[in-house]
Structure 1
Amino acid sequence: MRELVYTGFMSLDGVVDSPGGGPGEEHRGGGWVVKDVEFLPEAFALKEEELADTTALLFGRRSYEAFAPVWRDSEDHAAYKDLPKYVLSTTLTEDALVDGWGPTTILRSDDELAELKRGDGGAIFIHGSAELARRLSEAGLIDRYNLLVFPVLLGAGKSLFSRADLDKRVLRLRESEAYPNGVLKVIYALSA
């Protein structure tokens, strides 16, 4: 069974955004990852570590449309170029897929994603896609969370976790590290 991993930047109060802000992040605190905390390369080492573990990428439609044209031409994301990519969307059309960014498959339902997870292969990573990740978390499909937690409180923005009255799920801490700039690396997996 393949592991589905959400990776992201999170404020202490649970807001997830892209590093520099962008579409869909129009709250006052947008862009907090790069402007409010001292940059320390070691605090971002998790992103490089993930490259070795990533065998496929999963996006929601909006994150795919934002990331694909940028990451396709980015030297920082060159290792992702030829990896299989999946977009979970009921509205994205085949002709909207970005050329030159490796094989991309549109999944139309959570059931199709569950079937993909049951197949052979390594970890599938979700970048961005907060709304998709929240829905997949509610459905119990995310196996691990790789989070960089920043020492900021935003009060507004996209939340990774639902506020719905769901069954409790216990997570197991696999790894953690604190950095001098206040950023925490936490890696949690669902307990078996």
Structure 2
Amino acid sequence: MRELVYTGFVSLDGVVDSPGGPSEGHRSGGWTYQDIEFLPEAYALKGEELAETSALMFGRRSYEAFAPTWVDSADHASYKDLPKYVVSTTLSEAELTDGWGETTILRSTDEIAELKKGEGGAIFIHGSADLARRLSEAGLIDRYHLLMYPVLLGAGKSLFSRADNDKRMLKLRTSEAYPNGILKLIYDVG
């Protein structure tokens, strides 16, 4: 069975919206780079993840934000040949980004559950807050890789649902604190 791993940047108050820029219209877009000292060791997690990633998954909006940029990005060159899955009920094959490797459109949570039953390694979900919440509520997320920033944004897309769901315990696999206030938190869903 394959693991689904959510990886992302999150504010202390749980917002994952527009960490790299204002692409989703968040008034504080780019908050991961504003007023926080850059420390390469805080981002080492991204390189560590790559060794484990066998495929990428996105919701439609995150795919449309990342694919045109990442397709030619030297920083994301390793992603080019990985299989990609885009979860959307409306995206067409013609709208997929050319030259970014094999991309499959999944139309439902059931299709994602079937994908997890197959052979292969971990599938990493980037961005895609709405998708992550839906998959979490369906019990399909196996692990969270979070870089938590010492910032309160007050509004924006939250990683976790505010619905009255049953309690789910997370087990801390590893954590690390960096001098710039960023915390690395890796949790298994138990």
TM-score, scaled relative to structure 2: 0.98
Q: How many Å separate the matches in 1 of 2:68 and 2:21?
A: 16
What is the one-letter code of the residue matched to 2:15?
V
The 5 A counterparts of 1:25-174 are 26-174=25-173
Q: What displacement does 1:21 show?
A: 1.8
Q: What displacement does 1:84 show?
A: 0.3
**Residue of structure 1 in register with 2:185 after alignment:** 186
Q: What displacement does 1:37 show?
A: 1.0
**Residue of structure 1 in register with 2:2 after alignment:** 2
Contact 2:8/2:145 (8 A) holds in 1: yes
How many residue pairs end up in the alignment? 190
Which consecutive residues of structure 1, in runs of 5 or more, have no partner in the other structure?
A: none
Q: Secondary structure at the match of 2:86?
A: strand
Contact 1:143/1:189 (8 A) holds in 2: yes
Q: What displacement does 1:190 show?
A: 0.8
Q: How many Å separate the matches in 2 of 1:96 and 1:28?
A: 28
Q: What displacement does 1:18 show?
A: 4.0
Q: How many Å separate the matches in 1 of 2:172 and 2:180?
A: 21
Q: Percent identity at matched positions?
A: 78
Q: Secondary structure at the match of 1:34?
A: coil
Deviations 1:137-170 (A, max 9, x none): 1111110000000001110111000000001100
What is the one-letter code of the residue matched to 1:41?
P
Q: Secondary structure at the match of 2:32?
A: helix
Q: How many Å separate the matches in 1 of 2:77 and 2:26?
A: 30
**Residue of structure 2 in register with 1:13 after alignment:** 13
Q: What displacement does 1:29 show?
A: 2.1
What is the one-letter code of the residue matched to 1:27?
H
Contact 2:17/2:26 (8 A) holds in 1: no
Contact 2:84/2:104 (8 A) holds in 1: yes
CA RMSD after TM alignment: 0.9
Which consecutive residues of structure 2, in runs of 5 or more, have no partner in the other structure?
A: none
Deviations 1:42-80 (A, max 9, x none): 001101110001000000011111111110100000000
Runs of 4+ aligned structure 1 residues displaced above 6 Å come to none
Q: Secondary structure at the match of 2:133?
A: helix
Q: Secondary structure at the match of 1:55?
A: strand
Q: How many Å separate the matches in 1 of 2:161 and 2:167?
A: 12
Q: Secondary structure at the match of 1:7?
A: strand
